[in-house]
Structure 1
Amino acid sequence: MRVTAISAAAALMVLSVSTSLMAQRPDAQIDPRSIALVQEGRAAQAAGNIEAANDALESALAVDPRNREAFVLLAEIARGRNLPGKAIRLYREALLLEPNDLAALRGQGEAMVAKGAMERAKANLAKIKTICTAGCNDATILAAAIAKGPPVTATAQADKPETPAKP
């Protein structure tokens, strides 16, 4: 009697797990509606309608939160609006889905440079060079951004002492 109850419980567990696994989609398959919304967002961004692009990309993520391209495009919009912290977070979401995404690593590195996090940007550059051994354009762009350094802000210039004019 004891064996029957245990085997019945095991059979029920196997049945429920196999049924739930059949209902899930593979990670590589993005919802077509989400892909269409990303294309709509990309078109709006190209037309200069940033608000419509932002709305379409957020809708794409609501339809399928595994759409890495939507995260990258939203991060680019955030960088264009001088929101490097938000861009870093959005690139991180894309990198959680695909850790070797060169565009996301480069973009996150550039946003880190804008934020002043030079060491973290250099870590992204090292990762890009590890992934792409034969001279990548992404590595070149990020290296140039790191060499240029963070942008000088109005408050940073106000903090600098003025040098007296020489007679």
Structure 2
Amino acid sequence: MRFSPAAIALSLTLAMISSAGISGRADDDIDPQSIALLQSGNDALKAGQVEDAIGWYETALAVDPRNRAAYVAMAGAVRKQGLNGKAIRFYKEALEIEPNDQMALGGQAEAMIAKGAIEPARKNIARLKMLCRSECADVDKLAIAATKASEKSQMQASAVEIKPSVGDVPESKP
């Protein structure tokens, strides 16, 4: 009787410890089936079958939604279809899993530039420059592309000059 509170406390402690080990996989432990589906999607994309690749990537994400590489691959596939807004969203999903993923940051910046969202793209480029340790030529190319895109949009806005005209208005016949 006098050992029962200690026994109950010990059993609860052991139950808590054992349930922590059963709770699941580590964040970087991706389901092997999801990885195999991702590879099938990559093979389909290389063969030029974009729709099939997207189907494989969707299945890979359904099997394991923590598969960051599948999000990045899906974003690349939808960009090939010209769907930059969707690509930005898939890159965002990848960045929620790993905020310092340089592939996702760069891809999202490219999609943002293509969509015309220059300021958010510049924020990604700044983050990439901060993360870049050695060769940053790709980051510099992105920065140049963002600069050219912003100059182009400014030129388009200033190229159209509306001149009000007052003068000869054709008279209507009664």
Normalised by the length of structure 1, the TM-score is 0.80
- Which stretches in structure 2 are left out of the alignment for 5+ residues? 163-174
Aligned 1:108-123 pairs, distance under 5 A:
108-123=108-123
Give the distance between the partners of 1:141 and 1:103, measured in 2 at CA. 14
Tell me if structure 2 keeps the 8 A contact 1:34–1:64.
Answer: yes
Q: Closer, same or farther in 2 for the Cα pair 1:17/1:84, shift >3 Å? A: farther
Q: Deviations for 1:94-130, whole angstroms, at most 9, x for unmatched residues?
A: 0111111111000101111122211111110110010
Establish whether residue 128 from structure 1 lines up as the match of residue 146 from structure 2.
no
Aligned to 1:105: 105
Tell me if structure 2 keeps the 8 A contact 1:128–1:138.
Answer: no
Aligned to 1:148: 148
Establish whether residue 46 from structure 1 lines up as the match of residue 40 from structure 2.
no
Establish whether residue 58 from structure 1 lines up as the match of residue 58 from structure 2.
yes
Describe the SS at the equivalent of 2:66. coil
Q: Closer, same or farther in 2 for the Cα pair 1:44/1:9, shift >3 Å? A: same
| AA partner of residue 46 (structure 1) | K
Give the distance between the partners of 1:108 and 1:77, measured in 2 at CA. 13
Tell me if structure 2 keeps the 8 A contact 1:95–1:101.
Answer: yes
- Which stretches in structure 1 are left out of the alignment for 5+ residues? 163-167
| AA partner of residue 82 (structure 1) | G
Give the distance between the partners of 2:13 and 2:85, measured in 1 at CA. 45
Give the distance between the partners of 1:11 and 1:63, measured in 2 at CA. 35
Q: Closer, same or farther in 2 for the Cα pair 1:19/1:143, shift >3 Å? A: same
**Range moving further from structure 2, 94-103 or 5-14:** 5-14
Give the distance between the partners of 2:71 and 2:141, measured in 1 at CA. 20
Tell me if structure 2 keeps the 8 A contact 1:102–1:138.
Answer: no
Q: Closer, same or farther in 2 for the Cα pair 1:161/1:93, shift >3 Å? A: same
Give the distance between the partners of 1:42 and 1:81, measured in 2 at CA. 15
Q: Closer, same or farther in 2 for the Cα pair 1:18/1:77, shift >3 Å? A: same
Q: Deviations for 1:29-64, whole angstroms, at most 9, x for unmatched residues?
A: 111111111110001001011111000000000111
Give the distance between the partners of 1:50 and 1:28, measured in 2 at CA. 27
**Displacement, 1:12?**
2.9
Aligned to 2:93: 93
Describe the SS at the equivalent of 1:29. coil
Count residues with an aligned counterpart. Answer: 158
Of structures 1 and 2, the larger Rg is shown by 2
Give the distance between the partners of 1:29 and 1:54, measured in 2 at CA. 23
